């Protein structure tokens, strides 16, 4: 039978392991920024750094990494809810550093929209053996 402490510890370690292996690529977004003003329905270009912080330094985004762009907004007093209701694009190459998307036409006026860019690091095969040429 499981006891509660054991379960909590298990979840905790699973969480840490997940964080450590995720290898998330989260490059800095340059456009939009605090001076950006866009209109609903407009086609806009989102731009981000082609390097990211991998835990020890800035490294180039790998060519195979793909990303997802979402639009959300923040509300006063509820800063952890990003209201990411709109999927703008997915499956594009993160290393390109920019993506043109069309904003939904029915957006309300707000000063607190945010763009979230999520990347994965692609995946590597298992380790395998190659012998040097003679």
Ligand X SMILES: *[C@@H]1O[C@H](CO)[C@@H](O)[C@H](O)[C@H]1NC(C)=O
Residue (of 37, 54, 31, 44) closest to 119 by Cα position = 54
By CB under 6 A, name the one of 3, 4, 33, 78 that touches ligand X: 33
* Least separation in angstroms between CB 105 and ligand X: 19
Scanning 5-13, 29-37, 56-64, 84-92 for contacts with ligand X by CB under 6 A, the matching segment is 29-37
Give the nearer residue to ligand X in terms of CB position, either 6 or 53.
53
Q: What is the dihedral of CA 75, 70, 32, 92, to 10 degrees?
A: 170
Contact between 35 and ligand X per CB under 6 A: yes
CB 67 within 8 A of CB 117: yes
| HSE-CB for 106 with a 13 A CA cutoff | 2
Site string for ligand X, 61-90 (x = CB under 6 A): ------------------------------
Measured in degrees and rounded to the nearest 5, phi and psi for residue 5 equal: -60, -45
Please report, as ranges, the residues that interact with ligand X according to CB under 6 A: 30-33, 35-36, 123
């Amino acid at each position: 039978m499981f006891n509660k402490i054991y379960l909590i510890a298990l979840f905790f370690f699973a969480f840490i392991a997940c964080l450590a292996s995720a290898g998330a690529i989260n490059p800095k977004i340059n456009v939009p920024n605090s001076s950006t003003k866009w209109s609903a329905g407009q086609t806009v270009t989102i731009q981000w750094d082609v390097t990211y912080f991998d835990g020890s330094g800035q490294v180039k985004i790998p060519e195979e990494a793909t990303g997802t762009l979402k639009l959300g907004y923040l509300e006063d007093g509820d800063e952890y809810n990003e209201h990411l209701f709109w999927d703008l694009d997915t499956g594009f190459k993160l290393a390109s550093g920019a993506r043109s998307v069309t904003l939904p036409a029915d957006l309300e006026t707000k000063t607190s929209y945010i763009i979230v860019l999520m990347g994965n690091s692609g995946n590597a095969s298992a380790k395998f053996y190659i012998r040097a040429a003679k």
